[in-house]
Structure 1
Amino acid sequence: MNVAVVGAGALGCLFGGRLAAAGQDVWLLHHRQSYVDRLNEDGLRIESDVDGLESTTVSIPATTDADEVAHVDLVLVFVKAHQTRAALEQHKECISPETRVLSLQNGIRHYDHLVDFVGERRALAGVTYQGAVVEEPGVVRHTSDGSSTFGGADAEFARKAERALVDAGFPIKRVDDPLPAIWSKQLISLPIKPLAALTRLPSGKLVEQEELVAFMDKIIMEAERVAAAKGIEIPNEEPLETVIEICEAGDSHRSSMLQDVLAERKTEINAVNGAIVELSREEGVDVPANELVTWLVRGLERSYLDGR
């Protein structure tokens, strides 16, 4: 299978590198030339903290220009959620009328973005619980080996992609409808990400305060009402308990949205809680807790992004 990975960050390099090591024909696409140069000069090193998976170095072509790639069978999208449309447009030269596009990103509406860009027949989406961090350009540490779930209208191609990912060592679950899995994961992200960004607390500290836990519960319950209004059945029956367990297990972990704020980058707030606000208006559901954290994080962004 010919694969292009749009967004050669931690997860993009992890998935692209493992696929290449398993014999797939893979290109990595990144926006920064110096990053691409390091990958092309030194190859990609995946350092594994996962039992049963060895560290590996793979030679894998990287570029900033999709014209070099030509058309591929599959595009994997691993950019920040708010960058999806722009990234697909920037790299459209590798997307043919038969290319399938798969996103395992954060956010509620990444499937919608793919459908808008390539149509429902060619869009695949889902979630991943894989964990990875970039230690330096060309070196990625694989920190956790969680499962990935995805699906879409083209079940035949989804099975082909599933086989390639399983052969690369990823635990995969393929489904016909990816929306329940997407919403289930986002119910966990919705309370953690904005509150971590606003309080600057690591995950474990977030759930030590009863008031914050109660506010997390409000955020989750509002999202559940929006999902119910849209006819989406979420498999996670106790999301708040899951949030508390995850936060306690990753006591010192800093949410990606907190990392973005500390680095003074644009966050994914519009794709997470902001998306709940948008959908709530479409369905006529009140979501005051999600509205509040969306407005506050947007205001926090303005404090360091205005004038750039």
Structure 2
Amino acid sequence: MQVAVIGAGALGCLFGGRLAADGHDVTLLHYRQAYVDAINDAGLRIESDLDDTETVEVSVPATTDAAAAGHVDLALVFVKAHQTGTALDQHAACIGPETTVLSLQNGLGHYEALCDHVGEERALAGVTYQGAVVEEPGLVEHTGNGVSTFGGADGEATARVAAILSDAGFPVETTDDPRVTIWRKQLISLPIKPLAALTRLPNGQLAADEALVDLMDRIVTEAEAVAAARGIDLPDEDFLDTVLRTCEGSAGHRSSMLQDVLAGRKTEIDAVNGAVVDIAHEEGVDVPANELVTRLVRGLERSYLD
């Protein structure tokens, strides 16, 4: 299968590299020339200490020009959620009339963005619990081998993509309605990401602070109400308990939003809590806690972004 990976960061290189090693024709797309030059010069190496996963070394072409890939069968989208529209426009040359586009990004709204760009019949979306870190361009550490769950309107396309990912060694599940899967993951990250960014605390210390736990409870409760108003049939789950167990199970981890702040990068707040606020306004739901953290993180960004 011909595959283009839009966003050749940690997860993009992980998925692209493993698919290339399994015999697929993969092209990695990135916006930075120096980054793609490094991959083209040295190849891609994926190291792992995880059980049942092996180190992969493979030569995968990387480019800033999507036209070099031509029209592909599958485009995987791994850019930051707020970059989705721009990245799809920038790399439109690889997306032909028969291309299936799959997003496993974090945040809310990317499924709708894909549907707007390529139509509902060619858009697949979901979540992944794979973990990876770029140690340097061309060198990726595989840190987590969790399940990727996705689906869309075209069940046959879902099955085809699930098959190639499974053959490449990724645990996969499929769903008829990816919105439920996407919302469930976001309900767990919604309270963690902004509070970590604002306090600069690792996950475990967030869960140990009674005042922060109360705020996390409010954020989650509001988001559940927004999901219900949107017609999202969430599973019967104590989401705050899941949030706290997630924090305790990753006590020393610094959330990706905190990592963005520490690195002086734009965060995904608009695609996370900001998206909840936008949908809440459309549905007439009051979400003061989500509005508060959204405004605070946006203000924090303005303190260091040009």
Alignment TM class, shorter chain as reference: over 0.9
Aligned mates of 2:236, 2:273 — CA distance in 1: 18
Please list, as runs of the form range in 1=range in 2, the aligned pairs for 1:276-291 lying within 5 A after superposition: 276-291=276-291
Shift of 1:61: 0.5
Specify the code of the residue in structure 1 equivalent to 2:289: A
Aligned mates of 2:244, 2:133 — CA distance in 1: 23
Aligned mates of 1:228, 1:83 — CA distance in 2: 27
Matched residue, 2:80: 80
The superposition leaves residues 155-204 of structure 1 with CA deviations (integer Å, 9 ceiling, x where unpaired) of: 11111000000000001001111011000000011000000000000111
Unaligned runs of 5+ in 2: none
Could you say if the C-alpha distance between residues 275 and 200 of structure 1 is closer, same or farther in structure 2, counting changes exceeding 3 Å? same
C-alpha contact 1:71 1:96 (8 A) present in aligned 2 = yes
Matched residue, 1:8: 8
Instruction: Report % sequence identity.
Output: 69
Shift of 1:238: 1.4
Matched residue, 1:265: 265
Specify the code of the residue in structure 1 equivalent to 2:88: L
Tell me, what secondary structure is at the counterpart of 1:128? strand
Matched residue, 2:224: 224
Matched residue, 2:126: 126
Matched residue, 1:103: 103
Aligned mates of 2:134, 2:236 — CA distance in 1: 30
Unaligned runs of 5+ in 1: none
C-alpha contact 1:181 1:235 (8 A) present in aligned 2 = no
Specify the code of the residue in structure 2 equivalent to 1:175: T
Aligned mates of 2:236, 2:152 — CA distance in 1: 20
C-alpha contact 1:49 1:144 (8 A) present in aligned 2 = no
Specify the code of the residue in structure 1 equivalent to 2:92: K
Please list, as runs of the form range in 1=range in 2, the aligned pairs for 1:42-191 lying within 5 A after superposition: 42-191=42-191
Tell me, what secondary structure is at the counterpart of 1:54? coil
Say if 2:41 is the partner of 1:41. Answer: yes
Aligned mates of 2:187, 2:150 — CA distance in 1: 17
Specify the code of the residue in structure 2 equivalent to 1:88: L
Q: What is the aligned residue count?
A: 306
Shift of 1:235: 2.0
C-alpha contact 1:269 1:297 (8 A) present in aligned 2 = yes
Aligned mates of 1:54, 1:146 — CA distance in 2: 15
Aligned mates of 2:87, 2:213 — CA distance in 1: 36
Shift of 1:236: 5.7
Matched residue, 1:211: 211
